[in-house]
Structure 1
């Protein structure tokens, strides 16, 4: 049960009071608070922003539905494996995947520089539906005497591709990456078409984070933001600490002098001591207001005598500003498969999402052995024992806005929002009441009094599973007379999940 006083949220290692953009429903020094302006933007329920008061309602993480593998290594240049570092972009009906692979054993330490230089590739695939992928022949990079392949570049493994809305069309696509085995400094390459990249020879910073280099333009903040594995020497990380996420913010991609790296996600006292977080797959959610999601790989280490080995699955975190993060539920977002399945021991989320109607597709790389399970022997063709062409890409299907929800118990519960101001004519809910559940909505004034005509008794009972159910009161759904006025939403539910709400125009 939440209350007015429970407005602080526990982030990873930090207690944050009143995150950016959240109005204080109690006001400062006892003064009345200003209403929270929600306009006509969709609002998600993954924290207490819209739960000034509640009873028998809690925030719950919702696991997506696994759809199985959608892309496998089947080319000679993919002969060793796909890596876990990849990006998915959606432009209209076209889905693009940028992934990396090795044709030879990348852990052949006798020739590691040669392996990462000559046998590591950045590749490209595309799809019309996000499920069925093709590998077009691009004619860019020669492999074994032929350019008849889908290779974009050599020796780039850890990159993330993003669209830059600020730059000229000739540099619309950006690729943040290092070269080789995370060497050569952090670089930004560019492309006009997302296929032909001018690979930068000059780093923007000298340091080289391990793992995937993730960056995007944050239109909410008007800045470029990078989410990277924290560099131990740069951040002063203790020798007994492992993987964590740092964030950099820049106005100019060529000038990182004021990037101010900060650690924003790390294990805390509620995590087991032998767990750290690998890749982050952070993104700004484009279909709602003030919503960022991160899907870090939780790495649970085996005992030290097993070396750098252990299990990885995919967890989830949410933020209103991309800086302060919370984990309402610390269980796995995409759990490991059962023993013997293709994703039984090692899962990592790729960067990006695809929207298909009212569904969200996400993608992860997985194998059925642990982090160190392949490093004790060279996996040449003779000794592969079935472990060639591993690291498949799988898809998972999530409900639109469905990562988290405010869930009412079977016995019933309720939430009351802080005072809001909206624009629009109708109220729509993304809600699932279940067959035995229901919901009603009451509109109240800023003093908490029910507005005549919009009481619980007037509300037409909601019994549905709908991403945009229009609320009505005795058949009337028109709220235009209340637009711009301070109101509170009071929602009573039984056996229901409320994902989001939105005031919409006609």
Structure 2
């Protein structure tokens, strides 16, 4: 919690005017008849098929972000050799060392709305499959400079306010160092997101052992003014994640393991972390959870089956695993019940006023099936809600300080449901004029609603004072709160 402004009393939280989600128990002091509910994204359309000759069923590791009015995507393109589909697991792992390196390309797609995506014909590199430049490839293997980077190249828009225009876009891709292990990343830059070059020859994120062989990610943390990276590393036979930070992108802190408290250990093929744009002090984690104790339904040589899980963090190291259940399930399609068959992408887009879009991959590692990306949607801030049934319930926050005049809530009720808010002093006594009875019934559905108490809604006189919120919910959900001018 070092990133949050805590006063001497550890139960007092200064939230200022920032938006707060309920992804963890950070704000909550007491619960009665109310619980936190995880909301899964609603599956929508397939937005991209990996059906070009230069991508295919081994395509993976997509990174997606908004850049002005354009949405951009980068992904690994790799066709699947027919012989792989009939190999045993032992045969596949024997085949990989001599045949895998150099076969991947980095591809680019774009969209004006986050829904309809195209693979532009960039004409930059010849495809080894077609021998033509009519493709969307933006990076190929350089055997001397980056022999393996295209296996898992990830790009991001650098939001550092001091970024050089020539490095507005940055990227990382793995690099082998001795013993066949992936022990570091090559660092790339670009002024336009299309033409890429190395920042330096030296590696960054160097680690020992079996590391970096998944989707490694990096981004600018605007809340803490630093870069953050995450890469996979095995620990005691478990696929886990390590992280480090930097102020200049080239010199990094000592790496530490991401921790999950007392949660059971699980394999994460990828743990894709990003700050939530509307509340950048909170990191969201989209995990590709691999269950190696169960076989897939397709007799594949790969191990286990996979789904997507939801995590969150307030410091980037310690992650809350309140929700162990699957967040993105493989579903009815048998082709998704496979290793990397249901794997979230890195990225979260606001595709309209009230909607978030995220993406996941389905159908990996099958020569006779088209691997693709699917879009899913959530309401704005709609990851986790404070929920109560028809019988109703209340929860009380810890002591908080805020700045602003109005309390905004993101909520939804049924036609018989309601939400009410009471303001209390730091000792838990209702504040006159702002009691539960003074609060108008709140019902309906809104992502930004101003709470009113009879004729009162201006809370400026309480700004910077210690208060509590007592919130009553009946047959409804509360997704976020924010004090605002």
Q: Identify whether the pair has TM-score above 0.5, normalized to the shorter chain.
A: yes
Structure 1 residue 479 and structure 2 residue 455: aligned? no
- In the alignment, which residue of structure 2 is the partner of 1:378? none
Give the alignment partner of residue 285 of structure 2, picking from 278, 290, 294: 294
CA distance in 1 between partners of 2:394 and 2:251 (Å):
49
Aligned with residue 227 of structure 1, among 213, 216, 230: 230
User: What corresponds to 2:430 in structure 1?
Assistant: 450
Which of 131-140 and 303-312 deviates more? 303-312
* Native 8 Å contact 2:394 2:472 kept in 1: yes
In the other structure, the counterpart of 1:92 is 68
Q: Paired residue for 1:343, among 328, 333, 336?
A: 336
Q: TM-score w.r.t. structure 2 length?
A: 0.86
Contact 2:5 2:15 in 1 (8 A): no
- Give the corresponding residue for 2:308: 314
Distance 1:149 1:194 in 2: 16
CA distance in 2, matches of 1:267, 1:112: 36
Are positions 1:64 and 2:58 aligned together? no
Q: Which whole-Å deviations, capped at 9, do the CAs of 1:262-318 have from their partners, x for residues lacking one?
A: 1114696635xxx41110111011102521110111111146998752110000111
Matches of 2:25 and 2:398 in 1, distance apart? 10
Q: CA deviation at 1:446?
A: 1.8
Task: State the 1:355 CA deviation.
Answer: 0.6
Q: Quote the Cα distance in structure 2 between the aligned partners of 1:404 and 1:412.
A: 18
Distance 2:263 2:420 in 1: 39
Deviation digits for residues 116-170 of structure 1 (CA, Å, limit 9, x no counterpart) = 31x3110000001111001112222122443221101114021221222243110
TM-score normalized by the length of structure 1: 0.82
* Superposition pairs of residues 382-461 of structure 1, within 5 angstroms: 384=367, 386-387=368-369, 390-461=370-441
Q: Report the Cα distance in structure 2 between the residues aligned to 1:182 and 1:110, rounded to whole angstroms.
A: 16
CA distance in 1, matches of 2:336, 2:45: 9
Deviations 1:157-203 (A, max 9, x none): 21221222243110111101115897573111000111111145432
1:147 corresponds, among 118, 133, 137, to 133
Q: Which residue of 2 aligns with 1:327?
A: 321
The alignment's C-alpha RMSD in Å is: 2.6
Match of 2:147 in 1: none
Residues 1:354 and 2:349 aligned together: yes
- The answer as to 2:1 corresponding to 1:21 is no
Aligned to 2:468: 488
| Gap change, CA 1:412 and 1:160, over 3 Å in 2 | same
Change over 3 Å in CA distance of 1:425–1:338 after alignment to 2: same
Report the 3-state secondary structure (helix = DSSP H, G, I; strand = E; otherwise coil) of the residue aligned with 1:170.
helix
Measure the CA separation in 2 of the matches of 1:222 and 1:303: 42
Change (3 A) 1:182 1:405: farther
CA distance in 2, matches of 1:53, 1:432: 22
In 1, the alpha carbon distance for the partners of 2:391 and 2:163 equals 54
Is the partner of 2:458 in helix, strand or coil? Answer: coil
Partner of 1:213: 216
What's 1:202 paired with? 202
> Separation in 1 of the partners of 2:323 and 2:379?
18
Output the CA distance in 1 between the equivalents of 2:322 and 2:95. 45
- Asked whether the 8 Å contact 2:433–2:456 carries over to 1, the reply is no
Question: Are positions 1:157 and 2:151 aligned together?
Answer: yes
1:105 and 1:115 in contact (8 A); partners too: no
Residues 309-338 of structure 1 deviation map (CA, whole Å, 9 limit, x = unaligned): 211000011111211111112111111111
Q: Does 1:261 align with 2:246?
A: no
2:248 alignment partner, one of 240, 249, 252: 252
Q: Compared with structure 1, are the counterparts of its residues 43 and 111 closer, same or farther at alpha carbon in structure 2 (3 Å cutoff)?
A: closer
2: CA distance, partners of 1:183 / 1:344: 27
Once residues 503 and 497 of structure 1 are traced to their aligned partners in structure 2, the CA distance between those partners, rounded to angstroms, is 18
Shift of 1:225: 1.0
Matched residue, 1:124:
108
Quote the Cα distance in structure 2 between the aligned partners of 1:205 and 1:48: 32
Are the aligned partners of 2:242 and 2:255 in contact in 1 as well (CA < 8 Å)? yes
Q: Does 1:276 align with 2:267?
A: yes
CA displacement at 1:462 relative to structure 2:
0.7
Q: For the Cα contact (< 8 Å) 1:246–1:265, is it kept in 2?
A: no
Query: Is the Cα–Cα contact under 8 Å of residues 275 and 282 in structure 2 kept in the other structure?
Result: yes
